[in-house]
Amino acid sequence: MTNVIQVAILGLLLGGVYALMAAGLTLAFGVMRIVNLAHAVFIIASAYISFFMFENLGLDPLLSVVIVMPLMFLFGVAVYQVLFRRIEGTPRYTEMTVLLTFGIAIIIEGLLGFFFTGIFRKADPEYATDSFIVSGLFLPEGDILFIPKGQFFATLLSMVLLFGLWGFLRYSQTGYAIRATMQNRAAAQIVGVNVRRVSAISFGLSTALAGASGALMSYLFPFFPFRHWQWVAVLLALVVLGGMGSIKGAVIGAFALGVASSFVVDRIGPTWGPMTFYLALFIILLVRPRGLFGKEVAV
Amino acid sequence: MPPILEISNINAGYGAGPNILQGLSLEVEEAKSYCIIGPNGAGKSTLFKVIAGLLHPRSGDVVFRGESLARRRPDQVLATGVCFVPQDQALFPEMSVRENLVMGAYLVRDRALVRQRMDRVYEMFPILKERAGQDAGKLSGGQQQMLAMGRALMIDPILLMLDEPSLGLAPQVAQQIFTRVRELEELGITVLIVEQNAQRGLELADWGVVLDLGIVRFEGPADGILEDPRIRELYLGKAASAGDTN
Amino acid sequence: MIEDRADASPEDSASEPVEAVVRPAGPARYRWYVLVGVLVILLSLPLMRPLISSYSYTMTLGALVFMWVAMTSSWNILGGYAGYISLGHSVFMGVGGYVAGVLLYYYDVSPFLTAPLGGLAAVALGFLAGFITLRTRGPAFIISTIALLFMFLLLFDNIEYLGGSAGLPLPSPPFPQDWLRTPFYYAMLLSAMGSVWLSYRVAHSKYGMGLRAIAEDETKAEVAGVPTRLYKISAFAMSAFWVGVVGAIYGYSISFVRPTVFFTVAISAQMVLMAIIGGKGTVAGPVLGAVLIYAINEFSLIAFGASEINIAIQGGLLVAVLLFFPLGIVGTLRKRNWLPAFLDWD
């Protein structure tokens, strides 16, 4: 029993981080119909930033979020203005964004590899290897639970950020505008929303979330430039599962699959963790293609 | 008095396609109501989209109260007081009725004013007050149309364009909508309405405009148009029989 | 199901239908001669050994270029004509490679014989995967191709029978050392010819028109009566065949099959880049793109060494083409009426 709880906890902590990563990705699609294949490479680039700040400045990765997020926000807005604005309104826009972000991902991967080489990197602040030890409570005599500190703080931060995002979307003027644009772009224009500005801000938000995720990744998982493809596959699967454009769906999906893959890793083997996500993707496509909370199949 | 809206020689089309509007010109006078009729493909919805800034004309100009709107973004057009209520898909389906109305006043800074206007809309459409917390996507067709109109009122428009407000609605519900439109006219708003049910639409309006092949073919007092045998036969005949099957 | 436009010509007399297909008139005739000429040269090149300085290198180079031509042309059937971008297409290469590899490793059957089987296995996978993933329109398909690729990488890494992550070593082909690379040259050339021929036939058929309708506006295509789901799935499956064949041959040529060789995004990325630069949706585009990108790669390898900068350059090329020449070289030239006849195969 304790073992089950342990595995579940690890899964939830994993899901918390995935939720943050997937939220940014699905936001970009929801608002602007952009499938951002470069999202994972943005995360890894941010991880490099956090990593080097830790190595050279001693800045704690969790704190580096404060620097990385605004930086990535500006970067995202810039990328949107320079690249996505150009293809606005072209036919088969979403397909174009796939190809465009594919190219961007490759460029950044190449640059990262060139400057930082392919060595595995991982920041190692103290909490990265420490765990909270929980005993007593409702646990059987003598049993203990390990709650890895690093993952715990990461999930905590992720929840704080996601909660902040939720509040922002729900209650702020810009948040309303973003939600309106997500639900009905034409109507948003008619009521006076500057959808272009909203789109740029949303993309910036999306990359800011990637930035925060990267700061977390810097100490949670070993990373190197080529790694982003694996993350892309997992994150995209999550986004489709939750329903493209649904932040709620992405978060729920992340936790659900985080726990599921944790059990898979525990019972079958560590290398099979990602398979959970891929299988879930194909099952969802078979059973309910629009995902958990997605709208009817849209083009 | 100069016209409040001057549309001059508009050529407009979608994508790389042909011109739907082919040199269309029209003058609209303040506080009057206009019903625009014509066969499908004549360019009625396209005209509204051009005025609203959703479609940029290839040539020609749209001047509202002395300002040119032709190259403006939709949000800029709205800021001048020109409000467009499209044929369908006008609402934010996952937002509540209340939130939709709030979005209608997106450009309004004064919170108290927004509340005031919302109360006015609730007065005009009591059913919306009843369902204030419900998701817009779950409303019936008639209620959605009322919400769309109510939302347009939140910006206190000077000129209001309604594209087929009674489309797909049962006759009694459509009648309710038309009554509301008449109330709007009485408020002094300049109303342009495209109406599939030409007879009903012309009954509501002061002035009738007949569009065909991308230009204004006929225009005149709405009563007169109903009586003119040429128009009656050409357009009301088609539109009326189409309207009957609605 | 597939009709040949040339057959529809009413002037064909009973004695000349073959002629009408084989020898169209006018500028097309000139184009035909150029193509045949090029093919003759390519086919006889290996036999002109005394004239070629580094024979093995030339054979290998040729084989690789033909391989990319074959794969990119195949990719184009779904990605270019139907507009459904497959980013995990290299999964088919791996399937073909492993089918032939396993048959060689365990049963001593030459991949030159089993390559078509590899192709068919890829087709089967294409049908199965397409059946699941082509139910929706839009980006879900694209995402699922990436997932499929990684799924297979994971699977093949962990199956002992297939050698796991180390793969299976394969014996060298039983040819004299001097002429070792030549059969691969021919095998790849034939594959390239087959792939381009398939692409050409699809493009010039009612089926191909249906695919293009899907690319342009799927709703309209459905409404017009095109069986979109069937077309999409079959296009996906067809686009897998030659990739599988080529995978089988490639594995043999490098003497091993290993997951990381085949199941990598880099290969898919190359296919996509080549098709887009050349002009996706055209017949000649992928061929041109394959040759061009391969040349650029070789050049940048020489100029910059085998560093990550090459990858960045490829990405940069892709982005530049997408923003400024989305129709690719062939497409853009055609639009401006500058397309030389020998590149106009549509």
Q: Shortest CA distance to C79 belongs to which of C345, C282, C244?
A: C282
- For the residues of A152-189, what is the DSSP string, one character each? HHHHHHHHHHHHHHHHHHHHSHHHHHHHHHHH-HHHHH
Do B86 and A183 lie within an 8 Å CB cutoff? Answer: no
CA distance A144 to C317: 55
Q: Shortest CA distance to A96 belongs to which of A16, A46, A35, A54?
A: A35
Give C187→chain A minimum CA distance, Å: 31
Which residues on chain C are in Cβ contact (under 8 Å) with A279? 151
> CB-based burial of residue B232 (10 Å sphere; 0-12 exposed, 13-18 middle, 19+ buried)?
middle
Q: Name the β-bridge partners of B6.
A: B27, B63
| Strand-pair category, B59-64 with B207-212 | unpaired
Q: Which tokens is B115 given?
A: 């509340």
For A235, phi then psi, to 5°, come to -65, -40
Last residue of a domain, one of C230, C263, C296: C263
C210-245 confidence digits (pLDDT tens): 999 998 888 888 888 889 899 999 999 999 999 999
Asked if residues B159 and B192 have their Cβ atoms less than 8 Å apart, the reply is: yes
**Torsion, CA A9, CA A10, CA A15, CA A16, rounded to 10:** 70
Give B40→chain A minimum CA distance, Å: 22
Asked if residues B90 and B100 have their Cβ atoms less than 8 Å apart, the reply is: no
Last residue of a domain, one of C263, C291, C319: C263
Judge if C319 and C241 occupy the same domain.
no
Which residues on chain C are in Cβ contact (under 8 Å) with A240? 140, 143-144
Please determine, for residue C178, whether its predicted confidence score (pLDDT) is greater than 50: yes
Please determine, for residue B184, whether its predicted confidence score (pLDDT) is greater than 90: no
Helix (H, G, I), strand (E, B) or coil at A219: helix
Asked if residues B88 and A187 have their Cβ atoms less than 8 Å apart, the reply is: no
pLDDT value of residue C26: 57
Closest chain C residue by Cα to residue A118? C308
Q: Which of A93-97, A236-240, B71-75, C64-68 has the highest mean pLDDT?
A: C64-68
Mutate: best of A34, A229, A271, A286, partner C, most C CBs <10 A: A229
Give B119→chain A minimum CA distance, Å: 19
Judge if C250 and C321 occupy the same domain.
no
Q: How many domains does chain C have?
A: 2
CB atoms near residue A94 (< 10 Å)? 18
CA distance C40 to C38: 5
Do C151 and A275 lie within an 8 Å CB cutoff? Answer: yes
Mutate: best of B87, B96, B106, partner A, most A CBs <10 A: B106
B96-121 confidence digits (pLDDT tens): 999 999 999 998 888 899 999 999 99
pLDDT value of residue C175: 83
Closest chain B residue by Cα to residue A185? B92
Match 């057009």 to its residue by tokens. Answer: B77
Higher-confidence residue: A2 or C277? C277
CA distance C110 to C173: 8
Give B52→chain A minimum CA distance, Å: 8
Lowest average pLDDT, out of A155-169, B122-136, C23-37, C112-126, goes to C23-37
Please determine, for residue C24, whether its predicted confidence score (pLDDT) is greater than 50: no
Q: Which tokens is B50 given?
A: 């051009």
Do C308 and A112 lie within an 8 Å CB cutoff? Answer: yes
**Nearest CB to C265 within list A96, A99, A229:** A229
Instruction: State the ipTM, two decimals.
Output: 0.87
pLDDT value of residue B234: 66
CA distance C326 to C316: 14
CA distance B126 to B119: 10
Determine the Cα angle at C291 with ends C148 and C252, to 5°.
Answer: 55
Look up the pTM and report it. 0.85
Do C313 and A244 lie within an 8 Å CB cutoff? Answer: no
Judge if C279 and C254 occupy the same domain.
no
CA distance C246 to B98: 61
Residue B110 touches chain A, beta carbons under 8 Å: no
Judge if C119 and C227 occupy the same domain.
yes
**Nearest CB to B86 within list A188, A190, A193:** A190
C68-88 average pLDDT score = 93
Please determine, for residue C36, whether its predicted confidence score (pLDDT) is greater than 70: yes
Judge if C116 and C77 occupy the same domain.
yes
Residue B150 touches chain A, beta carbons under 8 Å: no
Judge if C89 and C214 occupy the same domain.
yes
Do B99 and A190 lie within an 8 Å CB cutoff? Answer: no
H-helix segments, C2-54: 17-22, 27-44
Which sign, positive or negative, has the C-alpha torsion A264, A266, A269, A274?
A: positive
Judge if C252 and C129 occupy the same domain.
yes
Q: Which tokens is C235 given?
A: 């296009």
H-helix segments, chain A: 2-32, 39-57, 61-79, 85-87, 93-116, 149-171, 173-183, 185-190, 195-220, 228-242, 247-267, 273-287
CB atoms near residue A257 (< 10 Å)? 28
- For the residues of C277-306, what is the DSSP string, one character each? HH-TTSSHHHHHHHHHHHHHHHHHHHHH-S
Judge if C215 and C329 occupy the same domain.
no
> On the CB side of C281, how many CA atoms lie within 13 Å of its CA?
19
Helix (H, G, I), strand (E, B) or coil at A192: coil
For C166, phi then psi, to 5°, come to -85, -20
Q: Which tokens is B21 given?
A: 């509007």
CA distance A209 to B113: 36
In a domain, C16, yes or no: no
| Strand-pair category, B33-37 with B207-212 | parallel
CA distance C149 to C73: 19
Do A187 and B91 lie within an 8 Å CB cutoff? Answer: yes
B141-157 average pLDDT score = 90
State how far the alpha carbon of C110 is from the alpha carbons of A113, C104, C107, C190, C318, in Å. 39, 6, 9, 17, 38
In a domain, C26, yes or no: no
Q: H or E segment at C254?
A: helix C228-254
Q: Shortest CA distance to B166 belongs to which of B58, B60, B48, B87?
A: B87
Q: What are chain C's partners, defined as 3 or more CB pairs within 8 angstroms?
A: A
In a domain, C15, yes or no: no
Asked if residues A215 and A65 have their Cβ atoms less than 8 Å apart, the reply is: yes
Judge if C155 and C88 occupy the same domain.
yes
Match 């892709």 to its residue by tokens. Answer: C318
C293-300 average pLDDT score = 88
Please determine, for residue B92, whether its predicted confidence score (pLDDT) is greater than 70: yes
Closest chain C residue by Cα to residue A225? C308
Closest chain C residue by Cα to residue A287? C132
Give A199→chain B minimum CA distance, Å: 14
Domain residue spans in chain A?
A: 2-9+20-226
In a domain, C87, yes or no: yes
Closest chain A residue by Cα to residue B76? A192
Do B103 and A191 lie within an 8 Å CB cutoff? Answer: yes
Give C318→chain A minimum CA distance, Å: 6
In a domain, C47, yes or no: no
What count of residues does chain C have? 346
Which sign, positive or negative, has the C-alpha torsion C189, C193, C196, C199?
A: negative
- For the residues of B164-224, what is the DSSP string, one character each? STTTT--HHHHHHHHHHHHHHHHTT-EEEEE-SSHHHHHHH-SEEEEEETTEEEEEEEHHH
Do A104 and C312 lie within an 8 Å CB cutoff? Answer: no
pLDDT value of residue C63: 92
| Strand-pair category, B33-37 with B59-64 | unpaired
Residue type, C313: I
Q: What are chain B's partners, defined as 3 or more CB pairs within 8 angstroms?
A: A
A residues 7-46 near C, CB within 8 Å?
29, 35, 37
Last residue of a domain, one of C210, C235, C263: C263
Q: Shortest CA distance to C199 belongs to which of C90, C292, C278, C118?
A: C278
Asked if residues C318 and A103 have their Cβ atoms less than 8 Å apart, the reply is: yes
| Non-local CB neighbours of C174 within 8 Å, separated by 6+ positions | none
Please determine, for residue B228, whether its predicted confidence score (pLDDT) is greater than 90: no
Going from the first residue of chain A to its last (299 residues), give the mean pLDDT of each consecutive group of 10, the final group possibly shorter.
86 94 93 92 95 90 93 96 85 86 93 89 84 76 82 94 94 92 90 92 96 94 90 90 90 94 91 89 86 66
The model's confidence at residue C179, banded by pLDDT at 50, 70 and 90, is confident
For A208-233, b/e burial (b = at least 16 CB within 10 A) is: bbbbbbbbbbbbbeebbbbbbbbbbb
pLDDT value of residue C7: 41
Match 């639409």 to its residue by tokens. Answer: B201
**Nearest CB to A190 within list B84, B93, B102:** B84
Do C143 and A237 lie within an 8 Å CB cutoff? Answer: yes
Instruction: Catalogue all structural domains in chain B, each as residue range(s) with its CATH number.
Output: 5-81+157-244 (3.40.50.300), 90-156 (no CATH)
Which parts of B71-158 are beta strand (E)? 82-85
**Nearest CB to B92 within list A173, A183, A194:** A183
Tell me the Cα Rg of chain C.
Answer: 20
Which residues on chain A are in Cβ contact (under 8 Å) with B86? 186-187, 190
Judge if C206 and C235 occupy the same domain.
yes
Asked if residues A294 and A242 have their Cβ atoms less than 8 Å apart, the reply is: yes
State how far the alpha carbon of C331 is from the alpha carbons of A180, C69, C278, C289, C340, in Å. 38, 17, 8, 12, 12
Judge if C133 and C177 occupy the same domain.
yes
H-helix segments, C23-138: 27-44, 55-76, 90-107, 111-133
Touching pair B, A by Cβ (3+ pairs < 8 Å): yes
Residue B50 touches chain A, beta carbons under 8 Å: no
Which parts of B19-103 are beta strand (E)? 21-28, 33-37, 59-64, 67-68, 82-85
B39-66 average pLDDT score = 89
Closest chain C residue by Cα to residue A272? C154
Q: Which tokens is C151 given?
A: 């799924």
Please determine, for residue C18, whether its predicted confidence score (pLDDT) is greater than 80: no
Please determine, for residue B32, whether its predicted confidence score (pLDDT) is greater than 80: yes
Mutate: best of A39, A278, A283, A286, partner C, most C CBs <10 A: A278
Lowest average pLDDT, out of A246-260, B28-42, B57-71, goes to B28-42
Please determine, for residue B34, whether its predicted confidence score (pLDDT) is greater than 70: yes
**Roughly what angle, to the nearest 10 degrees, separates helices C309-324 and C284-304?**
140
Range of the domain at C338: 265-346
Judge if C239 and C273 occupy the same domain.
no
CA distance C319 to A107: 9
pLDDT value of residue A296: 59
pLDDT value of residue B211: 87
Percentage of chain C surpassing pLDDT 70?
Answer: 90
Which residues on chain A are in Cβ contact (under 8 Å) with C137? 297-299
Q: Name the β-bridge partners of B219.
A: B209
C residues 167-186 near A, CB within 8 Å?
none
Closest chain C residue by Cα to residue A109? C312
Please determine, for residue C6, whether its predicted confidence score (pLDDT) is greater than 60: no
Residue type, A2: T
